[in-house]
Chains A and B, each alone.
Chain A
């Protein structure tokens, strides 16, 4: 962590660095639920799910939709690696429902294809949760 009172949060997508901000605390959407990060968190690497990343700062709370990926907590900051970072308003309920249908219809007859299907399902459900 950069200082004892704030967390340096950096969100990187394959296209560019989307967000580089200081905050008091942040909540991450992990694969199995939310995880809070406070200043001074021990180093960690974790898998992210599909949900909201919440940044708490003096001005209030800000939220973004995170499309899976990883988080790496190091001494100098929290690095969030995700495919996409969207504002919750940008998520369309209709297209999320369509995605869920498509994912449900996927054929999964081997362990590999099953994991692909599960991922698609989790992604669609995560989007649907936020859009509602």
Chain B
């Protein structure tokens, strides 16, 4: 019976697919761990920067920088969308593109200019398909984005912002909350709000209550050349670190999304194999039964 052979063929192909998805799951797991380690290693820098900003604020410096100031009129808004280069990661790219495209149409209502930049092949093709013009595309970011590459983008955004070519910069990425929760978000990166000094000092107050003495020592910082000159450098550095964090979050979330998608794909393939095996066995059994019946019929006819 052709049906039996067909069933067997299908079962074999599903088995092959299961092998692939299982391997992809394992690879995604390994990459996720690596990306996670990188993200964890990067927190040291952010912590230190925050510490310096706190020290600056504690020394009575007024925190002001061109990157922190909102422009009076918002005419041009840039949006940067961080998607993956590869698919097969469930709703990761789709939901991010949806969020980003929605924000973009909101932007177009308010502002009449601005660039749309997309990182990741998936996002690029999705935007092209939707007919949204893209000014810049990046495809060099994989599961381990390098700071140098991100810093280039950051410096360009800083330049555009301080020179008045753009009045706001939004970034759409998948924020990593925990290994079981990642959400696509759109955040406004410029004017920069990452230096929330008041809340920093509030958290520091509770954290260092027991080490009051240490806090007193920390207050006596000498600033070279002076506090405001350091601030001039801290703000861009902090912005670069913030953007880098977005890329790292996106990379970690992508691997998790792929891991989950491939896990369910493997499980689903298992279920399909089970179903196919059952149908196959049933068909084979009925074929055997039928053959026996035919033989018995033949013997009876002879006798």
* Residues of A bordering B, CB below 8 Å: 12-17, 30-32, 35, 42-47, 68-70, 72, 74-75, 79, 81, 83-84, 110, 112-113, 115-116
Contact = CB atoms under 8 A, between A and B. Distances in A.
Contacts of B232: 115
A52 to B, nearest CB: 18
Interface residues of B, number: 40
22 contacts: A12-B45, A15-B41, A16-B44, A17-B41, A43-B221, A44-B223, A45-B56, A45-B230, A47-B225, A47-B233, A70-B52, A70-B233, A72-B51, A72-B52, A72-B55, A74-B218, A79-B48, A83-B151, A110-B163, A112-B66, A113-B163, A116-B162
Contacts, number: 99
Interface in B195-232: 214, 217-218, 220-225, 229-230, 232
Given A68-B233, A69-B237, A84-B148, 4 more contacts: A14-B241, A14-B244, A70-B237, A113-B163
Interface of B: 38, 41-42, 44-45, 48-49, 51-52, 55-56, 66, 146-148, 151, 155, 158-159, 162-164, 214, 217-218, 220-225, 229-230, 232-234, 237, 240-241, 244
B55 to A, nearest CB: 6
A16 B144 CA distance: 12
A130 B38 CA distance: 29
Q: When A and B form their complex, which 9 residue pairs have the shortest distance between CB atoms, in order from nearest?
A: A46-B224, A112-B162, A16-B41, A44-B222, A14-B147, A14-B45, A12-B45, A12-B44, A15-B147
Contact of A45 (B44, B146, B222, B240): B222
A84 B241 CA distance: 13
Contacts of B44: 12, 16-17
